[in-house]
Amino acid sequence: MKKIIETKRLIIRKAENTEKDVEFYHRLWNHPKVMKFVGFPKGLRISKERISKQISEQSNSEFDRLLLVEIKENGTLIGETKLGFPDEEGISKTDIKLLPEFWGNGFGKEIKKALINYIFEHTDAKAVEGSPNKKNTASIKMQESVGAKKIKEGVYHFPESMKDFTEDVHCIIYRVFRE
């Protein structure tokens, strides 16, 4: 296991090209409840083969790659997250997706706090950004609970070739600043 971050209840680790990890991503990314707020109301429609290929082609860095979240006590996979390496403006983007059966347990807040701390300890990022869907009140509350400030709102439009299985995403940009 390639552990990156450990919290009180969770481990965040690099995804590996194993049956367990591939199967988990397949379940998570094709779950309509998980994916509806990111523009895929019927799931991502991705195959296990494509997921396996994506995992195997990643760099060894912990930034901008697939990371899994598991319960420390028993190794149960509950979701995925992302540590974005800071861009040219010093902004690091994060993302969290959890299976519905793990919603409402404070895991999102625990993960977000850990991501923020890790980014500020290991990079020169000026801010950590999250962009929840305007309809995802739980994610908005999670952003605000870690001290994130609303910066602006926006809409992500998928390419025309994807319009038959996606929906535009109306999001709010939140940032936690280093200072």
Distance CA 72, CA 95 (A): 20
81 contact partners, CB below 8 Å, separation of at least 6: 12, 67, 68, 69, 94, 95, 96, 97, 111, 115
Which residues, 6 or more positions from 129, have their beta carbon under 8 angstroms from its beta carbon? 84, 91, 92, 93, 94, 151, 173, 174, 175
Tell me the pTM: 0.95
Question: What are the tokens at 176?
Answer: 């936690």
* SS (HEC) of 68-99: EEEECCCCCEEEEEEECCCCCCCEEEEEEEEC
Mean pLDDT estimate for the chain:
96
What is the per-residue pLDDT across 107-137, written as a single tens digit (0 to 9) for each? 999 999 999 999 999 999 999 999 999 999 9
* Residue 174 confidence (pLDDT) above 70: yes
Q: How many residues does the chain have?
A: 179
Going from N- to C-terminal start, the domains of the chain cover 3-177
CB atoms within 10 A of CB 153: 11
**Under 8 Å between Cβ of 119 and 108:** no
Q: Tell me the sheet residues that pair with 171.
A: 133, 154
In the prediction, which pLDDT does 179 show?
84
Question: Averaged over 166-174, what is the pLDDT?
Answer: 97
Q: Give the mean model confidence (pLDDT) for residues 92-100.
A: 98
Residues paired with 12 in a beta bridge: 5, 69
Distance of CA 22 to the CA centre of its chain: 16
Cα 161 from Cα 75, distance rounded (Å): 39
**Cβ proximity of 98 and 107 under 8 Å:** yes
Class of domain 3-177: alpha beta
